[in-house]
Amino acid sequence: MVLCCICGVEITSTVSAGARCVQCLRSEVDLAAGVSRRGNVHQCGTCRRWLRPGGTYTVAENESRELLGICLKSIKGIGKDVQLANASFIWTEPHSKELKVKLELQQEALVGVVVRQTVIVELRVNNLQCDECKKSYTKHTWDSSVQTGRGMETARRKIGFIDAHFHVWDVSDTTTSGHDPKVLFAPGGTELFDRRQYETACNLGEDFRHEGGVFLEAVSVCHPGLRGPAYSSHCMSEAAFAAEELVNPSVERAYVLVPTCALEQPDAEEVLMKMSSSPGIRGIRQILNHQPDWPRNTDLGDLLDDPLWRRGFALLQKFNLSFDLQLNPHQFEKAARLLREYPGITVIINHLGSPRLQDLTADADKYWQGMSELASLPNTYMKISMLCYTDLNWDSNPTVLDAVHRIIKLFGPERCLFATNSPVDAKDGWPPKRLLAAFLDLATVYPESSIGDLFSGSVRQRSEHRRTLMMLEQLILKHKAHTKLIQLTPTKEGLDFFFSKERDAQDFVSFLKNWAVVKHHESKHLVSHNAQNTTYRFKRTTCVEVCPICRDDLVFLPKKTAQALGGLPPLMLCLKASSQLCLVDPASSRCVEVASAEYWRKPFQSVSIPSKLTEFIVLDIEESDLARGHGGSAASVQPCEVEIARIADFGHNDERLTVRCHLGAILHVGDSVLGYDLRSLHLGMDEDELGGVPPLEVYLVKKKRPERTKKKKPHPKRGKGVSTAASGQSSFLEPDREDKQPTMPAEDEHPEDMEDEAAEMKAAAEALLTQLGASGTFRSADEVEPGREDSRQPWANVIMTWDMTDDLYKTRRCKAIVAEAPCRLGEACTFAHSAAELRPFPWPEPLAEHWRGQVSIGVVEHAMFWDLPPIGTLDVVCNRATCLGNPFGSCSYADPSQRPPVDAAGWCAGEHEVLVSAYDEYLQAVLSQDASTDLQEEVRRIAERRSLLLSDAWEKQDLKREDVRSALDALASQVSRGCFLRLLCHCRPYVRCHAESIKRYLDQFTKLDAGVPAPLPNQGPVDIEGRVWPSSAAAERCSIRTKRLTCTRAGRALDPGSMKSYCAQCWSYHSVVYFWPDWDDVWPECFYRDGYVQCTSGADDADREDDCAYVDRPLCSFYVRGCCKFGNDCWYRHAKRWPRQEILAEAMRC
């Protein structure tokens, strides 16, 4: 032993070099003298990659080995003299933009003596954008681009216009066209207004290109009083005259014909048979305007009531002809009832239903009610024409303009058609050029694709879809072909991809060619040129055109293309669309594969897409003797003959069909199958185009599979036999998943049964009120609100009123008022509507002593509505939907009999003791300074040792240790400043609650002189119980703010994770999804249908997809409360209704 030469401490001779002890040696040797205590690291704020010292960016997770290596290279002073023994991260706040690294340095201070020293280095995280992200935010930094679409356009094109309604006639004395010179006029003094005169008049200006039109008959207003075969001959003469003028090989434009037929006459079927076999004829029109009458209808009367006419109307479906419906507004409802019986007949309503200005002003309700019924039918279309019949100056009349926009909104742009009604409108000062210019001004508020539908798309029935591009989008994401992409721009025809290198663009084009039928051509543009070294810089663009044919499309092969592919029929089904097209003929089950090069040499188009499919039922199936398909997609093709019936015909007729198809391998009797019904589809082709080969009446495409519903799998630990109710959870903010809401009565229920059901509900409600000490009375809805009655739902016409006894009257706050919703009972409500009305409750619920103090505890179900917080107190939710919830849901018992007994209220006190004890251990682990163990692993370790099951709600949040710590620190900061908090959980005072552990922790920060809490700012009046009454004007609003939704209710309780206030309604929805929506997040809008939040579009997208008649739409909950901001334009139904669950809710509220 020797003595230290500095402090005199005895040391062993092994460290006698220098005769210094370890402490003195450390005081003399500072290993961190040359090590910088502060530094900087750089991270790209867009892609979140970290900058390495070499100038490259790399991906690294927080507290990972990769990030630690980047940090160590950024620290100066670690060299050969000072060695690094160990390094680790010290936890910091994720948003602090700071990293702390703990270093263990070592150095040989003397011979045989090694000294270690710990140093903490703070590194500041600075944002520095990487080169790739700079290019994505800077214009013209790309070197190569790929443009994809269904036909690339290099120049602005005119709007193609197909006139959906025009006339040609001959009113000369020697006419053979069937027209009546006494009724019709000579346009511009010209008795023969033929095709040349019409096309000359259609000088549409620079914005439009005239491509064709639909000829409409005029004989249905001619020859008043003439009936029988003589009138039918005039109808056939007009059809022959129009066909000679418009449908012949010398005509460049495309025209179709809609002649007339007197459907009420006995020879109607014979006339329709002749017309259906004539080229170019697609439908029939017969003017039905009655009162005011059009010329022939004065004698015929209202044909909609004529059974002979209705019988002739039904023949249109047999001959696959459409019907142009021209009628008056008072006939709308009658026509809608008729059209519902014949869903297979396409009906085009003419001239907005022929309204006068009075129909849009004084009689507007009747007009729009009938128009809504017509628009709800999927087989109806609307022609926007002859607006001068309503007002000669319609373009400056806001009533007419608003009516047009509303009709386009009802039918949709795809079911509306602009038409000139030439030469009738031209006579009133509206020639086609002026008319289309006014239509274009009217259509500027709609998207460009909708403008095309209004002027031509609906008549052509083109397959303007983006399904091919959507498929490519999914493939690009699946195979990560977008990793080298720096910018993506959507365009009208497709997508533009931008790359920083030409090689990346070429690889992307190769990827597209491997997955789709595409063709491409390249171009380049000179950007700069250096004459000194003869270098050039180009921007290269590759235009990729994608084949528009998709799987399950019905395609038409031109005659030469069909012969080149081996003599195929003109109509084929697309079985598969990838790098090549696989087509199948259902009649022969013959398959052919069309390569990409072969397709682009002779391209063909789809004539119908899957949105036009009709549902059939399989009645019988018989295998065919034809050979099966071979190879690839054809391997599953098996020919068969199927007897089918259309689903829509059930209950109307017994029509059956036997067709051939290729689905013999998967079809069985009773299956539903989807197919193209060519009897009701207008493909726009003649027999000559079909090559004389008659097509099948129905092309079956695929089997309709039932919608699959995801079954909830049992919890891997809890199993099926353990209920979440055992854990003390309540169904308010953490509802039972198997709990079902009461259902609405079906539409086909008998009124007598519903009246009996209403009587039973009355008796049950009266019994409930009697138990509560109330005497109930029931009155009809008409007694309370005259005129309010719903004949379909007798039980909905009952309103309950009652008088409570003096002991209970006005002793509780009305939940509707607390939720900031108007109370339906108004002054008749027995609950308090203001602080002045509240009376003391005679039997107050006892509050446990250990739940009181500056930090108190409350019951969340009570606190959200009637148990408001005391003055100056903030409510904080601490259930399992937040980061302060108990992660342990229930105990796991090998034998169910081992579970402690449950009291009368369903609470198991013994199990709560175990759960709270486990939470105490969990809380200690969270607050422990040793953060080496992951929080999730720590929780599972505690659960396994104590035989506990974890809560699903807690696991879904995927919490980290810092999340819980930050929430506790935020609450402790509030308490230290003297703020009063009330922790809300589901437990009751007579069982242990995990909130008591949180209260014990927060009590360390309470002020001894806290005294009585002072009123908080933005709080309303205080009632006799010392509770703050809700005040809409002063209360802080709910914090829900997204792009589409904004909650306007008053905030009710704080979330400890964010310290933001949310209303009771949003808290309930949060307990289902377990997250709060950010600005860009999507929170299901159906959660808000009973709330105070309306979508910016006026209706949910899900509801608009399932569009229905106005009377069948969901009730607008905002209108019931008197706060719908959309008024008459609201998509939902504006009518008061008292559903059964609301009646029960009113009774249970007492």
Task: Assess whether pLDDT exceeds 60 at residue 797.
Answer: no
Preceding omega of 292 cis (within 30 degrees of 0): yes
Q: What is the domain-level CATH number for residue 339?
A: 3.20.20.140
Preceding omega of 735 cis (within 30 degrees of 0): no
- For residue 779, CA distances in Å to 752, 764, 776, 782, 802 come to 19, 16, 10, 8, 10
Q: How far apart are CA 844 and CA 782, in angstroms?
A: 39
Is there a single domain that holds both residue 85 and residue 213? Answer: no
pLDDT of 447: 78
Is there a single domain that holds both residue 277 and residue 382? Answer: yes
Q: pLDDT by residue (tens digit) across 439-479?
A: 988 888 887 767 767 775 433 333 345 666 777 778 888 88
Task: Assess whether pLDDT exceeds 60 at residue 917.
Answer: yes
Is there a single domain that holds both residue 435 and residue 477? Answer: no
Is there a single domain that holds both residue 170 and residue 310? Answer: yes
Assess if residue 785 is contained within a domain. Answer: no
Is there a single domain that holds both residue 443 and residue 478? Answer: no
Parent domain of 856: 849-1014+1024-1033
Assess if residue 317 is contained within a domain. Answer: yes
Task: Assess whether pLDDT exceeds 70 at residue 1121.
Answer: no
Top-confidence residue, 572 or 77: 572
Top-confidence residue, 758 or 496: 496
Is there a single domain that holds both residue 569 and residue 535? Answer: no
**What amino acid is encoded at 282 in this protein?**
R
Give the rounded distance of the alpha carbon of 209 from its chain centre. 37
Domain closes at, from 515, 546, 577: 546
Q: How far apart are CA 226 and CA 237, in angstroms?
A: 15
Confidence of residue 1140 (pLDDT cuts 50, 70, 90): very low
pLDDT of 759: 58
pLDDT of 169: 94
Confidence of residue 905 (pLDDT cuts 50, 70, 90): low
Lowest mean pLDDT of 378-382, 409-413, 852-856, name the range: 852-856
Beta bridge partners, 121, equal 101
Residues in the chain: 1150
Is there a single domain that holds both residue 542 and residue 640? Answer: no
Query: What is the total count of domains within the chain?
Result: 5
Assess if residue 139 is contained within a domain. Answer: no
182 contact partners, CB below 8 Å, separation of at least 6: none
Task: Assess whether pLDDT exceeds 60 at residue 1105.
Answer: no
Structure tokens at 501: 């290198």
Q: pLDDT by residue (tens digit) across 744-791?
A: 334 334 444 445 555 555 555 555 445 444 444 444 434 433 443 443
Q: How far apart are CA 158 and CA 156, in angstroms?
A: 7
Q: How far apart are CA 93 and CA 101, in angstroms?
A: 14
Is there a single domain that holds both residue 671 and residue 684? Answer: yes
Tell the burial category of 888 from Cβ atoms under 10 Å away from its Cβ (0-12, 13-18, 19+): buried
959 contact partners, CB below 8 Å, separation of at least 6: 883, 935, 936
pLDDT of 843: 47
Confidence of residue 365 (pLDDT cuts 50, 70, 90): very high
Assess if residue 1093 is contained within a domain. Answer: no
Structure tokens at 1096: 């910016």
Assess if residue 129 is contained within a domain. Answer: yes
Assess if residue 258 is contained within a domain. Answer: yes
Domain closes at, from 435, 460, 485: 460
Top-confidence residue, 1061 or 684: 1061
Q: Which of 525, 506, 424 is nearest to 163 (CA)?
A: 424
Is there a single domain that holds both residue 93 and residue 124? Answer: yes
Is there a single domain that holds both residue 87 and residue 166? Answer: no
User: Average of pLDDT values for 698-711?
Assistant: 77
Task: Assess whether pLDDT exceeds 90 at residue 388.
Answer: yes
Angle at 442 between CA 440 and CA 445, to 5 degrees: 100
The runs of H, that is alpha helices, within 109-214 are 131-137, 195-201
Is there a single domain that holds both residue 661 and residue 587? Answer: yes
370 contact partners, CB below 8 Å, separation of at least 6: 329, 330, 332, 333, 336, 353
Assess if residue 628 is contained within a domain. Answer: yes
Chain mean pLDDT for the chain: 77
Assess if residue 141 is contained within a domain. Answer: no
Structure tokens at 974: 């509030």
Domain closes at, from 546, 576, 593: 546
Give the rounded distance of the alpha carbon of 1114 from its chain centre. 17
- Return the SS3 of 293: coil
Is there a single domain that holds both residue 442 and residue 477? Answer: no
Give the rounded distance of the alpha carbon of 55 from its chain centre. 44
